[in-house]
Structure formats: structure tokens, C-alpha cells
């Protein structure tokens, strides 16, 4: 299989980037998209060119590190997957495939396809936790949590922090990510005591980082590898309102 990769090259966060084309042969349809990029990089090494920097780690769809924009979509042509779960069988021989980094002011490009997503960590830092010191926990069954509530918390907690929601949004909004984090903890009895301050602080940090408002297009839910529901955003708004009124 032979394709042309049109890839964003950028030396570092200060330099200007540009697209560069690479004709790549010897691919097969069982290769994951990242393995195809590995293959291209081996070619580049032997040609004396610097490899394309891109991110990955677990390569099984759970670490959230491998996000890139492929042909204008976060994580490529399918819904609800990560880049490492995309395979070359989704492309045709001779295709020209455009690959670029997440584009968002809050995610500066570090090199080529690698962006800095530490803004997400700073949102967590502002309340994405339950204040519980090690050694202070009551017996786990002492606080019953009905299955529906545990499931609801789990649905939100499944977020892998990849940033596809931001990349897919016209406004580069981080509301799906932030709302998933807030709703996971706010749903549980253990998280309730800090629900108002958590919501206010995390939302404030989200704005400070330069993420935009919800664009109401629903693109985030479509591209989210975990299919996190957009209804999380309205729930977060409701928590925010309550926090403003009663918090």
C-alpha cells in the first residue's frame, strides 16, 4: 500500500510551521495509523532527515496521548476512536492524508504534531479531586452508592483527557472535558461536599487557560473516543448556576 502523507512540520513553539509531503510505500492495511507513521519515520532516519515528532504511549486507546488531526477530523475518519485504534484499512491506496496537530490557543505546538496539553492538568489542579488524606477513609460499603449513580459517575469518569473535544470544537472549548471531570466527582456522595467550589474553580481555570465557550455543534461528542455525552455540559452549567446561587 502506498499513500502520501501531508504532515505539519514545526521546529519548536517559536518557529513557524508548514506542511510537507512524504510519499510512503510498503504499508499494509493491518498497520495502525501510528505504525504507518513509525514506518515513515524509519524511512526518514535512513534518508538523513529528522523524524516527525508525534505522541503516543499505550497504543490501546486508553492513555489519551496520541491525538492528531487527520484529514480535518480529530483522530481521523471514524467516530469515537483514538488515533492508535485507526488502521490503514480505513484508507485507500494512493490517498493523500493530511496530518496536523490539535489547533487551540490553549494547546501550543511544541514540535511537529506534539502539543502542550498541560492546561488540562491545571484545570484538574483547581479542584478535580476529593480532599481525602491517606488513611482517613471509612469502610467502603459504609456509604452505599446506587448502581445508577455509580454508572453515571463512571460514564463521565471514562474521559481519557486526549483533547479531541477541544480540537473538534470551532471555539476550542474544553467544556466536555471539564464537565466530565466535574460530573464524575459531583455525582458521588464523597465528592458532594466540595461540589460548588470544585465547579466554580475548574470553570474559572478553564476560561483562564484560553479555551472558548461551547459552540453547540456537538462535534466534541462525535469525536470523543469514549463517547462522553454532551449532556455533561448542560449538567455542568446547572452545577455552575447552583454554585453561584448557593455556593
Partner 1 sequence: MLLDAKIPEGKLEDKWRNYQINSQLVNPANKKKLNVIVVGSGLSGAGAAATLAELGYDVQCFCYQDSARRAHSVAAQGGINAAKNYQHDGDSVWRMFFDTLKGGDFRSREANTYRLAELSAPLIDHFTQQGVPFAREYGGVLVNRSFGGVQVQRTFYARGQTGQQLLLAAYSQLYKMIRAKKVRMHTRTEMLDLVVVDGKAKGIIARNLVTGAIERYAADAIVLATGGYSRVFRLSTLAIGCNGSAIWKAHKRGALFAAPSFTQIHPTALPQSSEAQSKLTLMSESLRNDGRIWVPKDKNDNRKANDIPEEERDYYLERRYPSFGNLAPRDIASRAAKERIDAGHGVGRLKNAVYLDFKHAIERLGLETIQDRYGNLFSMYKKITGVDAYKEPMQISPAAHFSMGGLWVDYELMTTIPGLYAVGECNFSDHGANRLGANSLLQASVDGYFILPNTINNYLASEMKTPGISSDHPAFEEVEEEVKEYIERLLSINGTKTVDYFHRELGKVMWQECAMSRNSEGLKKALSRIEEIKEDFWQEVRINGSASQMNPELEKALRLADFIELGILMCTDALQREESCGAHFREEYQTSEGEAVRKDADYAYVSAWEYHSEGFKLHKEVLEFEFVKPTVRSYK
Residue ranges in 184-223 that form contacts with partner 1 under rule CB under 8 A: 184-185, 188, 190-191
| Torsion of the alpha carbons at 145, 147, 153 and 156, rounded to the nearest 10 | 180
Of 44 and 215, which CB lies nearer to partner 1 in the complex structure? 44
Site for partner 1 in 144-183 (CB under 8 A): 144-147, 150-151, 153-154, 157-158, 160-161
End-to-end CA distance of the chain: 59
CB of 101 to partner 1, least distance (A): 13
- Alpha carbons 115 and 13: distance in angstroms, whole number: 9
Of 85 and 229, which CB lies nearer to partner 1 in the complex structure? 85
Residue of the chain from 131, 197, 213, 238 that contacts partner 1 (CB under 8 A): 131
Residue of the chain from 16, 94, 133, 246 that contacts partner 1 (CB under 8 A): 133
Site for partner 1 in 55-74 (CB under 8 A): 55-65
Cβ distance 166 to 175 under 8 Å? Answer: no
- Per-residue x/- track, 4-43, partner 1 (CB under 8 A): -------xx---------------x-xxx-xx--xx-xx-
Site for partner 1 in 69-108 (CB under 8 A): 81, 85, 87, 89
CB of 41 to partner 1, least distance (A): 8
CB of 27 to partner 1, least distance (A): 8
What residues contact residue 4 under an 8 Å CB cut-off, 6+ apart?
21, 22, 23, 24, 94, 95, 96, 97
The number of residues that bind partner 1 (CB under 8 A) is 78
Cβ distance 247 to 239 under 8 Å? Answer: no
Per DSSP, helices labelled H in 83-194 are: 118-125, 147-157, 164-168, 175-187
- Alpha carbons 12 and 10: distance in angstroms, whole number: 6
Residue of the chain from 23, 25, 93, 121 that contacts partner 1 (CB under 8 A): 121
Of 12 and 231, which CB lies nearer to partner 1 in the complex structure? 12
The dihedrals phi and psi of 89, each to the nearest 5 degrees, come to -65, -10
Stretch that binds partner 1, among 123-131, 208-216, 230-238, 239-247 (CB under 8 A): 123-131
- Pairing status of strand 3-9 against strand 18-24: antiparallel
Of 71 and 194, which CB lies nearer to partner 1 in the complex structure? 194
- Alpha carbons 161 and 63: distance in angstroms, whole number: 8
Cβ distance 187 to 148 under 8 Å? Answer: no
- Pairing status of strand 96-100 against strand 3-9: parallel
CB of 128 to partner 1, least distance (A): 6
Residue of the chain from 20, 21, 23, 45 that contacts partner 1 (CB under 8 A): 45
Amino acid at each position: 500500500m502506498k499513500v502520501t502523507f501531508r504532515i505539519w512540520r514545526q521546529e519548536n513553539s517559536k518557529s513557524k510551521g508548514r506542511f510537507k509531503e512524504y510519499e510512503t510505500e510498503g504499508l499494509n492495511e493491518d498497520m495502525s495509523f501510528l505504525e504507518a507513521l513509525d514506518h515513515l519515520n524509519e524511512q526518514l532516519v535512513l534518508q538523513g532527515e529528522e523524524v516527525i515528532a508525534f505522541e503516543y504511549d499505550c497504543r490501546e486507546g486508553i492513555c489519551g496521548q496520541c491525538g492528531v488531526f487527520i484529514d480535518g477530523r480529530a483522530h481521523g475518519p471514524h467516530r469515537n476512536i483514538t488515533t492508535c485504534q485507526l488502521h490503514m484499512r480505513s484508507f485507500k491506496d494512493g490517498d493523500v492524508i493530511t496530518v496536523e496537530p490539535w489547533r487551540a490557543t490553549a494547546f501550543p505546538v511544541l514540535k511537529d504534531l506534539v502539543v502542550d496539553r498541560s492546561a488540562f492538568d491545571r484545570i484538574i489542579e483547581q479542584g478535580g479531586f476529593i480532599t481525602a488524606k491517606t488513611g482517613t477513609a471509612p469502610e467502603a460499603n459504609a456509604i452505599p452508592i446506587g448502581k445508577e449513580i455509580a454508572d453515571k459517575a463512571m460514564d463521565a469518569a471514562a474521559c481519557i483527557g486526549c483533547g479531541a473535544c477541544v480540537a473538534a470544537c470551532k471555539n476550542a472549548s474544553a467544556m466536555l472535558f471539564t464537565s466530565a471531570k466535574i460530573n464524575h466527582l459531583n455525582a458521588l456522595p464523597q465528592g458532594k461536599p466540595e461540589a460548588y467550589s470544585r465547579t466554580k474553580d475548574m470553570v474559572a481555570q478553564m476560561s483562564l487557560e484560553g479555551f472558548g465557550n461551547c459552540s453547540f455543534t456537538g462535534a466534541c461528542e462525535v469525536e470523543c473516543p469514549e463517547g462522553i455525552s454532551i449532556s455533561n455540559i448542560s449538567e455542568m452549567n446547572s452545577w455552575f448556576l447552583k454554585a453561584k446561587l448557593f455556593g
